[in-house]
Amino acid sequence: MVKTTKFGTYRQFILESEELRVSVMELGATVTGVDYRGKRVGLGYESAEDYLTHDAYLGAIVGRFANRIGGGSFPLNGRRVELPRNEGANTLHGGPDSWDRRVWQGHIEGESVLFTLVSPAGDNGFPGRLTAAVRYTVTGGALRIDFEGDADADTVFAPTSHMYFNLRGTGSVLDTHMRIPARGVLEVDEALIPTGRVLPAEGAFDFSGLRPVGQNYDHAFVLDGSRACEAVCGGVRLTLDTDFPALQFYTGAFLGEPFGENGGFAVEPEFYPDAPNHPDFPSALLRAGEHFRRYAVYSFSDAE
Ligand code: BGC
């Protein structure tokens, strides 16, 4: 069932099944809360204002390019695209005028909510007029997100959902048990820009079996199939399935009160960071007339 409400001045939609309640507002097409069997496991701020004063991208759809583009520029069709930089020399999460501050058009379509955003040519430096569509659907214990996009000129497109989770509901997430079936982890420099090397997921990066997180992460794992991760804590299991090629696992955010540091972890289905500067990474190129389509499914269940 889908209902319409308000969150501050913004329209908000509530998607509900017996197990799951997901609220999504038109600002940033942001998930403002996920409750599994009455427990808040997907984090959200108290007020709409909080979303405008923090920069954790909490629950938002990030675009046009999630994660970093090194040097804030990339080659496209024989010329260089220059982007505004918002993290030192680099462009993070699409740049300074980020999509989490945009008001999307939302409407109910059956059991889903469909959000669309028209990003004009040159938006934050990105070529082409891009129409992005993000569909949220709740079925049983699962929240499915479908990402789509169409552009009228060649461009890059690499959105993500930036939800943070805390499966116990409160406290640190460092004792959450995590499994990430990965083929490797991207080596990065001190600014978190990939060097191009894929390292084996060993030692601190070995999440081949469920084990406590234990320390902070802000790394891109190269996925090995559609199961991106499994997380267990507080009697709740979250699995994430996706056809994006990588997963950014991020624990270090200071989300503000009442979450504090390590109060949530983000598991972001993504293209590889800086993909437009690495011809050997899976391509984030979206050609004019081509249709972009990717999905992510977050499934919640009881864990012993
Ligand atoms: C990035 C972090 C960044 C954060 C911003 C994450 O996706 O990996 O490096 O600080 O987003 O909230």
Q: Could you tell me which of 172, 247, 248 has the C-alpha nearest to residue 214?
A: 172
Residue with tokens 């990588």: 246
- Tell me if residue 195 falls in helix, strand or coil: strand
Task: State the pLDDT at residue 261.
Answer: 79
* Percent of the chain at pLDDT exceeding 70: 100
Q: Could you tell me which of 110, 111, 131, 134 has the C-alpha nearest to residue 121?
A: 131
Residues 6+ apart with CB under 8 A from 162: 56, 57, 58, 59, 60, 61, 62, 66, 93, 100, 266, 268
State whether the beta carbon of 251 lies less than 6 angstroms from ligand 1.
Answer: no
C-alpha distance from residue 220 to each of 22, 250, 274, 275 (Å): 26, 9, 11, 12
Task: State the pLDDT at residue 237.
Answer: 98
Which residue range forms the structural domain that includes residue 178? Answer: 2-302
Q: Positive or negative CA dihedral for 234, 237, 243, 247?
A: positive
- Give the mean pLDDT of the chain: 96
Residue 126: other Cβ atoms inside 10 A: 27
User: Could you report the per-residue pLDDT of 75-116, keeping only the tens digit for each?
Assistant: 999 999 999 999 999 999 999 999 999 999 999 999 999 999
Confirm if 179 and 208 have CB atoms less than 8 A apart: yes
Confirm if 205 and 211 have CB atoms less than 8 A apart: no
* pLDDT average, residue stretch 269-294: 98
The total domain count for the chain is 1
The overall pTM is greater than 0.85: yes
DSSP labels, 124-139 = GG--S-EEEEEEEEEE
State whether the beta carbon of 148 lies less than 6 angstroms from ligand 1.
Answer: no
CA-CA-CA-CA torsion for 64, 65, 68, 70, nearest 10 degrees? Answer: -90
Range in 11-15, 49-53, 148-152, 218-222 with the lowest mean pLDDT = 49-53
Residue 120 Cα, ligand 1 centroid: separation in angstroms? 25
User: Could you report the per-residue pLDDT of 43-84, keeping only the tens digit for each?
Assistant: 999 999 999 998 899 999 999 999 999 999 999 999 999 999
- Which sequence positions are flagged as catalytic? 162, 268
Q: Positive or negative CA dihedral for 55, 56, 61, 65?
A: positive
State whether the beta carbon of 60 lies less than 6 angstroms from ligand 1.
Answer: no
Model confidence at 252: pLDDT above 80: no
254: confidence class by pLDDT, cuts 50, 70, 90: confident
Task: State the pLDDT at residue 262.
Answer: 82
Residue 204: other Cβ atoms inside 10 A: 11
Peptide bond into 96 cis (omega under 30): no
Task: State the pLDDT at residue 231.
Answer: 98
Model confidence at 198: pLDDT above 90: yes
260: domain CATH number?
2.70.98.10
Residue 61 structure tokens: 């759809």
Residue 121 structure tokens: 């040519």
260: confidence class by pLDDT, cuts 50, 70, 90: confident
* pLDDT average, residue stretch 22-31: 98
Minimal-distance CA residue to ligand 1 atom 10: 253
Find residue 285's DSSP bridge partners. 156
Model confidence at 131: pLDDT above 80: yes
Buried b (16+ CB within 10 A) or exposed e, 253-276: bebeeebeebbbbbbbbbbbbbbb
Residue 192 Cα, ligand 1 centroid: separation in angstroms? 10
